[in-house]
Structure 1
Amino acid sequence: MDQGRNQNWTQVFFDKQRSKWCLAQLQRLRTLVDSLSRPGDQRPQTVLFCGDQKRNEALSSLFPTIWEARIGGDAGGISIHADAQTVEANAPLFLAVSNPMKISSGFSEDVDFESVIWHQGGENEWMGLNDAIHSRLLFLFTDVVCVFADDLGGIKPAVDLVERWWAACDGRPSQHPEGVWPTVIIFATDHNEDRFSQPHEVVDKRAGPSSRQQTLALIKTAEQCSSKTLQSFLEEAWDRRARRGNLFPASQLPDLFQAATKHLAGTRDIPFSFTISSYNPTKAYLHSLIAWLKLSVPHLGEHVALDMVGSAILFEAYPPEGHVYHPMDVWEGRYQRYVVEACDRVFPTPDQDVRKSDPSRISERPAVKLLTLFAEEFGKGGDWSLRARIAHLREVSGPLTRLDFRQNFVCLLCLASPPENVLKCAHSLCDQCVVRTGQPLPYHEYLFRVQCPLCTDMSTTKISLRPPTAGIRAWSMDGGGIRGYSQLCIFRRLENDCGCPLVNFVDFGIGTSAGGINILAMLACRWDLNDCLNLFTRFANQMFRKPKSAIGRAYARFNQIIKGCLYTRAQVNNVINQAFGKHSSRSMFDCSSAKIAVTSCYDFTKPALLTSYNGVKPQNKDPRLNQSERLDCDEEVLRITSYKIGDAANRTSSIPLIMQGFEDRLADGGLWAQNPSGLVIPEIERITGEDSSMLDLLISVGTGRASSDVTDQEFPLQSILERFGILGSVATFLLRKTFEHLDPESVHKQLLDCLSPSIYYRLNVELTPPLPRLDDVSAMTAIHAKVDHTDFSQPFRDIRLALLSSSFFFELEEMPKFKNGSYFCKGTIRRRVSAKNVKALLKSLHCENINFLLSRPQSEQSGSYLNDASGCHDVVGKYDATEKYCYMCRKFHLPVSFSVNTLGERVWLSAQLSNGMRRRISNFPRPMNWFVARQNLRNSKKLSCSGLDPGFKTKYKLRRCKV
């Protein structure tokens, strides 16, 4: 068992520069947990020894091996150690040592700590702070507290210390019941104070309410501090915690301790809650509840709708292999306040029969359902909460058929998250419910066959999800009317160079105007590029057909002046419906492959996005409102997921003065985002809940640019406006700023400054000015020729390398193991595209194999941060024609292993081709603790591919099989 250089569990010290007491979060507990053989199954028990000399004598007698390792650490710190003889047991023993009468006066700079939390208070508050740390932090994770009265000056000072502990936490260390609080034992050799001969007298006279009698004992003689005595108290503590669901796996203890430390530093009055720290629903959960109640109550009634909330809480609160808290603790700590508030919002009138005089009575029905289902299903093993949820849904399957299920604002299984996937039966599920209920399919990563758990429909739906540790590959297409034809020509050239379909290498696509139509055709309709080119040509010829006679052209101009447009709404709808065919009536939200967004503009003033996804943040819409009312909100960007593909194509390309506007006041997205590349990073944050580091690749495709920047050209009216003096100069300035705002190259210049050249690629062609008009169909031939003659060899080569390297991602197979001062990491490199596509890219790059390198750079400068890391490179694996498959799931599986100094150390995994080209694989550089959190390895077990396990994103993960 490791006895590292710093053995302190936590440490308090005074910072003279800031004049504040500090509480350091150290890595010691995590180090001990990582040293255990089965941290996911073992449930440690902790004994806290408080004192000085007599404490040391007892420890030397009971645990001589640990004492030889010089237990104690800093005299003012609180150290923790593991008993080497119990590390393989189901309940390993942790020993904590503190001196409640001393505190650190300084803090060593070389101590390894995650962060420092500043606790408000002056230097004279050290005693109260030390008492609060013992009672409100250490007691939460301690089963038995041994106080050695001789080291404190006798029994009376020892009892006074216990009184101060209970006073520091107001008699309640945490929100758990008294039965799981630690047992305090006072060891003393003083036989003169007979009035403390009975334990209950100490409690009644000194420690307050008699409800704490079972948590305080008094033993007079130090000889009774034996292993037998400790074992009896530990067994009692184990039984009490087991009855209340308070036995935590060792893998959860470091995160719980970190949460408790932050809680202590930030809040003095509210006891710490384990149930809330494990999972605390946010306001998004409230929005989901409100959406569900508004949808279901008119059809199902209040009782049925709230009963479904109860079974959904059970399903959400008890994931497979998750910690089983007492259901009443779960209800009161997590969900009660949200259910009450949702009921108050949905049922504002108290005169309804079910509410009578108490408007909160109806919110108690979920608690009753939760307790009932818990009692019926708990103990059956496996995913019992899922079985209980599905059984309850089948009970109310009759009333459920009366609901209009084609909605996109709440997952109908968990009622806790916005959905992202629509099944054939029109029910919608979130990603986590897809993983938990779906069957993983062979050959492809994170491809599931899902049978609807809500109805009796036997049909199945294939749903593909992005792996949680893989980054996002994004496309962005500018607006430009007829010049959007160049984008399809560029992509066809790139696809020919790659030798495989490009739609297999995209996770997110965004477009404006003509670029939006191209994105919808390629990603929503899944058409190949030849079909997309034919579609664009047919669409342009039908939409922008010009009258041949002079009279016809004059009439068209006159009609434009009278009606304010060249093409009516009916004409545009007819052309769009013919172009997209059967896909025109499909909802954008039904597209469950790549995420799609097209830009629009509301009332010419407010930006809007029409999306095929919800993301991790709630959308700004109310399901009870009609579509036009949903747009009236104060958010910066409107996001709407309810549009059909044909309607979205209409809105994103509705050019003012050319096409007639729509009733919902949505117009061409080019009015605010001619180049939507700048929206990619904010949308990635909405999709993933993380920052821009999730971006693997961004390909931005323009619609042609003039040979010189538009800002350098003289505007058509500039020479005239300059004759009007100051007013003309102001008008010229405003006109120039307007052209700069509409210039897509200005966004391109901004992205060059904030994104690495190995991530961001801009593809565009130079056109001879003046640029073709937005409706000039005759320019398509010249645009095609210009694309064919433009040299894209270098950017195409870099893009092919980026597509190839980002096709591989890394996953940890198990928690990193702490050995010999470093963490041993065992994982696999996996592939998220088919072998055929990888071979095609290798062939296009004139290579046959790939070496995977591990790098530890000395610095993280922008040049090496994302592509080439300086320092030594270790070959950890190789990809060639003889692929390594898992024999059960038939997926690419390349085992790799390496060591890191700390879990926070950033490492690079890169793919090096045989011709020397090298680029990082998906989502690197990353520290290993990011993968641990993303895969939720601390709370899950390593199981086979036959089912599912907690960990996907933040809750569930796919079971992996053994090679």
Structure 2
Amino acid sequence: MQLLLAQVNVRTSLPRISHDDLTLSCHTHIRSPLHWTPKSINGLTDMAFEIFVYPFTDIFCFFADDFGGLDGLSHFIGRFSTFNGAKGVKPRAIIIATARPEDGYSVPREFSTIFSAITIFSVNMKNARAVADITDFIVAEMSAVSASLRAYRTLFSAFQLDEIFQYVSKRYLKGYVAPINLIETARIHNPIPLGLTKHMQSIFSFRQPLTKDWKSHLVTTLSTSFFREWSSMDPQVFRAQDIFDTLYRPIYSSVVNKTFVDSELLRKKYLHFDGAIRNEFCKLVDAFRNGGRDYREVQLEAFKGLGDFRSALIDQNSCFGCLCRNVDLQFSCRHALCELCIVYFGILYSRYTYRLPECPFCFKKVGITYRVKPPTAGVRILSIDGGGVRGIVPLQLLQKVESSLGLPIAVQDMFDIAFGTSSGGIIIFGLLLNGWSLQACEEMFVRMASAAFRPRTNFLGLPIVSALQRGLVSYVKDSYYCEKGLSQALESAFGLQRLLTSPSHASENGCKVGITVAVAADASPQIMTTYAANPSSPIHNKKGYSQVEPRSKILVVDAALSTSAAPWYFKAHSIPGVGDFMDGGVWKNNPTEVALAEAQELWPESKVDLILSVGTGTQLQADSNPTKASGSGFFGKGFLSRLYKSFMSSLDGEKVWNDLWSRLSSEQRQVCFRLNTLFQEPIPRLDDVSKLPTMRAVASQKIPASVSDLSQTFLCTMFYAELERSPHYYDGAYECDLVIRCRWDHDKSVSKATLMQLQQRKYLFFINDNQVLPLPHMAAFSEFSIPVRVMLPSLTTDCYIRIGRHVGDAKDISGFPAHPQKLLQLQGHTSNFRRSAFPLPTRRLRSGAKRQRLS
């Protein structure tokens, strides 16, 4: 039962409220000026009554004597006869009179236009029971109102009502008097995805005959997608038919009108389907609300009605679980889902790890495990340069990092997004998609390099004649090396049927993977990824490159051949139905900036925790003598020589890194690390397989100075924190209950090993520069989590959680510093009408865990 008490002052002037009057310690107060000028005091109060009081008050209790009787009250009510309610149920009116006229009461006509029920309650105020009788009567009326609102599904919680009031207050300040639509208001902070319109058009692209079966399939597909989208809302508010009419019918009509602009007959027939879609949507909502089943069960049951239409849903780029996004993962049955639908249809295995035992469309067993980045955690980025055979260098450098961590997990599994170019892209695929260890990846890389850079044939005759013959053949074949050797090696490593969208080691560990390529025709920059782009991101169209689509048709082998097709060495690689591509190094041989842009698009509100850029070697110092450096003679200064040297210079990832570093802020530089090897001798050629042992030895000789600092950053970002509940305002400050967790809490052995590493390093947790707990005590917990309570002066005051030996050398945990308002947003609590996209099991604090209170 909800209760809103409002005392309406009907005097000709309003009392001023001084600052001293607002002394409540349990609520914050906001003062805002009006952006419009009322014509009179009555105009000010009338508008307040129309916007604030009438739409959200369920029972009006009038004391007739205060208005000089019913006639005076009728005159007052007449000013509001045009008011509109917001909750679908008109308020009830109770008129309390102290004297009963001889001819009885006559209810003024004005009352019936704005009240659903009017009761005149006669009471003798001198009677000791008068107040109690009035109270009992109002409580009885409240029960009746609650029943009506519950039936209309507009019985809001106090938090939801407060959210609506805040929105209405802003409208009042700007002078807006038009009635609000509560359903639209409830979706302000949770708007319908922009992709729904685009992906709904993919349904009509099938253009099947208007048979009874096709209509049934269309109705099922669209009603379930609307049901899936509706699942992001509070399931108990608003009637299903009102939700459909407000949110989904306009979108459906718009898509039909745009799709069938060339056929009036088809347009009218498809528009007529909206009634059937509406009925089916309402059935799904009612089945959820009244059937005791969860969203997933209701939608899976509906999918059984798709019948043979399931075969039309394979190899599609649109997610038919929601019709709002591109697919992220494709199953062995060739159906696919976006990330949010994988979470939606999956079963929670551990925190932010989900398992999908079967395909929701055809119900074949798929056995998928999928992990998502915790919303409040930051982003860790890995980038590996291209460099042909010099790819052996980053593998050695990463082994140094992995050894310094001392954890039972591969270093590549500690990143949220990873990008590579050319040989760096192949390494990224091996480490992340296949889950190879660094040692296994090195062995495979050596075999690939030997197979790739094998001369076409041995030419006979004088060396100069042999060189000319080889050059002529290379010109005719459009490449110096045959693609066959590299292709066979890649097929052996990644298979012939594996797609970029196929389940992988990376998807099991929550890592997004991508490579850079260039279009062969015009060298325009593009990327190939294992994940769908985020078109709603503000930077989506400002990145300077595009994503190759459809990803559902790109094999991993084709992507690897595309990113490694360096001009002259290999010819451009052709992917049927997609395009011709060459080495991404021609525009970005160091993909760090690309990986950073992609991270900002995928997680626009998340803090970047770590950027690790790994190079393939650079020369210690270029020769400063321009005459000597440029070579001599015709071949040294000729066009081909200059073109070759220009291309090789563009492949120097160190120059790209230095350019990026110069544009980073001081705060960003603190989380950026560059690992590379300096060669005393000239850098080995991209195809010089004979130098592999030498490069391995040089890269293994010395541990980079930044590895120690990097390992601390890795360990600190293994932890993140979440709000356990909404902050509570108390005594002038916000009481925030946080829980510090480990990113690898789905693997207890890793969590324990991480804590042991912190113990060995004598690290401590510091919150706002206060020591929290010594690590030996934390290691005794059966499940790692540290409950902490902090007091902050405002919701936008940053909270700092750091790990280190001392406050001065401590580093932030993942995603921090962060303020409560940001944490609420990241955890999906931007609206009290919204349901989290990543539902987690609620759990009480462990009986042995004490909450640390820090101010």
Q: Does TM-score exceed 0.5, indicating one fold?
A: yes
- Equivalent positions of 1:86-105 (< 5 A) are none
1:474-525 CA distances to partner (integer Å, 9 max, x unpaired)?
Answer: 1011223332321111112222222341133111101122221111111111
Q: Distance in 2 between matches of 1:264 and 1:369?
A: 38
Q: 1:522 to 1:713 in 2, by over 3 A?
A: farther
Residue 884 (structure 1) aligned to one of 767, 781, 785: 781
Q: Distance in 2 between matches of 1:343 and 1:712?
A: 69
Match of 1:413 in 2: 321
Q: Secondary structure at the residue paired with 2:760?
A: coil
Q: Secondary structure at the residue paired with 2:252?
A: helix
| Offset of residue 589 of structure 1 | 4.6
Match of 1:470 in 2: 377
1:681-736 CA distances to partner (integer Å, 9 max, x unpaired)?
Answer: 32123222x23x43221111122223358999899779999xxxxxxxxx9xx999
Q: Is the 8 A contact 1:472 1:697 kept in 2?
A: yes
Q: 1:458 to 1:665 in 2, by over 3 A?
A: closer
Q: Distance in 2 between matches of 1:134 and 1:879?
A: 61
Match of 2:852 in 1: none
Residue 497 (structure 1) aligned to one of 399, 404, 407: 404
Q: Distance in 1 between matches of 2:348 and 2:147?
A: 39
Q: Is the 8 A contact 1:48 1:144 kept in 2?
A: no
Q: 1:489 to 1:131 in 2, by over 3 A?
A: farther
Q: 1:151 to 1:596 in 2, by over 3 A?
A: farther
Q: Is the 8 A contact 1:596 1:613 kept in 2?
A: yes
Residue 836 (structure 2) aligned to one of 945, 951, 954: 951
Residue 273 (structure 1) aligned to one of 163, 178, 181: 181
| Offset of residue 883 of structure 1 | 3.8
Match of 1:809 in 2: 720
Q: Is the 8 A contact 2:352 2:374 kept in 1?
A: yes
| Offset of residue 607 of structure 1 | 1.9
Q: Distance in 2 between matches of 1:406 and 1:656?
A: 32
Q: 1:217 to 1:601 in 2, by over 3 A?
A: farther
Q: 1:428 to 1:360 in 2, by over 3 A?
A: same
Q: 1:569 to 1:348 in 2, by over 3 A?
A: farther
1:240-290 CA distances to partner (integer Å, 9 max, x unpaired)?
Answer: 211210011223333333334445567937532222233331321212322
RMSD: 4.6
| Offset of residue 924 of structure 1 | 0.9
Q: What are the ranges of 5 or more consecutive residues in structure 2 without an aligned counterpart?
A: 635-642, 847-855
Q: Distance in 2 between matches of 1:386 and 1:478?
A: 43
Match of 1:905 in 2: 797
Q: 1:476 to 1:213 in 2, by over 3 A?
A: same
Q: Distance in 1 between matches of 2:700 and 2:756?
A: 22
Match of 2:766 in 1: 853
| Offset of residue 739 of structure 1 | 9.2
Q: Is the 8 A contact 2:59 2:94 kept in 1?
A: yes
Q: Is the 8 A contact 2:724 2:738 kept in 1?
A: yes
Q: Is the 8 A contact 2:527 2:545 kept in 1?
A: no
| Offset of residue 540 of structure 1 | 1.7
Alignment coverage as a number of residue pairs: 804
Residue 536 (structure 1) aligned to one of 404, 428, 445: 445
Match of 1:611 in 2: 529
Match of 1:824 in 2: 735
Match of 1:74 in 2: 17
Q: Secondary structure at the residue paired with 1:378?
A: helix
Does 1:873 pair with 2:770? yes
| Offset of residue 764 of structure 1 | 1.4
Q: Distance in 2 between matches of 1:211 and 1:52?
A: 21
Match of 1:328 in 2: 241
Match of 1:756 in 2: 668
Q: Counterpart of 1:696 in structure 2: which amino acid? A: D
| Offset of residue 599 of structure 1 | 1.0
- Equivalent positions of 1:475-874 (< 5 A) are 475-500=382-407, 501-546=410-455, 550=463, 551-568=465-482, 570=484, 572-578=486-492, 580-582=493-495, 585-591=498-504, 592-593=507-508, 594-602=511-519, 603-617=521-535, 636-640=545-549, 641-642=551-552, 643-663=554-574, 664-688=579-603, 690-691=604-605, 693-708=606-621, 743-750=655-662, 752-753=664-665, 755-768=667-680, 770-792=682-704, 794-833=705-744, 834-837=747-750, 847=760, 850-855=763-768, 872-874=769-771
Bigger relative contact order (CA 8 A; separation at least 6)? 2
Q: What are the ranges of 5 or more consecutive residues in structure 1 without an aligned counterpart?
A: 1-42, 57-71, 85-93, 95-110, 204-209, 621-631, 722-730, 856-871, 886-890, 942-948
| Offset of residue 775 of structure 1 | 2.4
Q: Is the 8 A contact 2:197 2:255 kept in 1?
A: yes
Does 1:212 pair with 2:120? no
Q: Counterpart of 2:656 in structure 1: which amino acid? A: P
Q: Secondary structure at the residue paired with 2:435?
A: coil
Q: Distance in 1 between matches of 2:628 and 2:165?
A: 65
Q: Distance in 2 between matches of 1:685 and 1:837?
A: 28
Q: Distance in 2 between matches of 1:782 and 1:748?
A: 30
Q: Distance in 2 between matches of 1:639 and 1:119?
A: 50
Range with bigger deviation, 699-708 or 220-229: 220-229
Q: Secondary structure at the residue paired with 1:809?
A: strand
Q: Is the 8 A contact 1:424 1:459 kept in 2?
A: yes
Q: Is the 8 A contact 1:251 1:938 kept in 2?
A: no
Q: 1:413 to 1:149 in 2, by over 3 A?
A: same
Q: Distance in 2 between matches of 1:563 and 1:388?
A: 58
Q: Is the 8 A contact 1:322 1:940 kept in 2?
A: no
Q: Is the 8 A contact 2:256 2:267 kept in 1?
A: no
Q: Secondary structure at the residue paired with 1:313?
A: helix
Q: 1:451 to 1:262 in 2, by over 3 A?
A: farther
Q: Is the 8 A contact 1:469 1:923 kept in 2?
A: yes
Residue 460 (structure 1) aligned to one of 343, 367, 374: 367
Q: Is the 8 A contact 1:805 1:910 kept in 2?
A: yes
Residue 895 (structure 1) aligned to one of 780, 787, 791: 787
Does 1:249 pair with 2:157? yes
Q: Distance in 2 between matches of 1:803 and 1:165?
A: 64
Q: Secondary structure at the residue paired with 1:926?
A: coil
1:16-42 CA distances to partner (integer Å, 9 max, x unpaired)?
Answer: xxxxxxxxxxxxxxxxxxxxxxxxxxx
Q: Distance in 2 between matches of 1:435 and 1:924?
A: 25
Q: Counterpart of 1:598 in structure 2: which amino acid? A: I
Q: 1:851 to 1:166 in 2, by over 3 A?
A: farther
Q: Secondary structure at the residue paired with 1:925?
A: coil
Q: Is the 8 A contact 2:558 2:573 kept in 1?
A: no
| Offset of residue 324 of structure 1 | 3.2
| Offset of residue 893 of structure 1 | 2.9
Q: 1:145 to 1:772 in 2, by over 3 A?
A: farther
1:44-86 CA distances to partner (integer Å, 9 max, x unpaired)?
Answer: 3212211168999xxxxxxxxxxxxxxx98279999999x9xx
Does 1:202 pair with 2:110? yes
Residue 316 (structure 1) aligned to one of 211, 226, 229: 229
Residue 290 (structure 1) aligned to one of 201, 207, 213: 201
Q: Secondary structure at the residue paired with 1:780?
A: helix
| Offset of residue 612 of structure 1 | 0.7
Q: Is the 8 A contact 1:287 1:618 kept in 2?
A: no
Match of 2:252 in 1: 339
- Equivalent positions of 1:375-386 (< 5 A) are 375-376=286-287, 378-383=289-294, 385-386=295-296
Q: Counterpart of 1:672 in structure 2: which amino acid? A: W
Q: Counterpart of 1:785 in structure 2: which amino acid? A: A
| Offset of residue 596 of structure 1 | 0.6
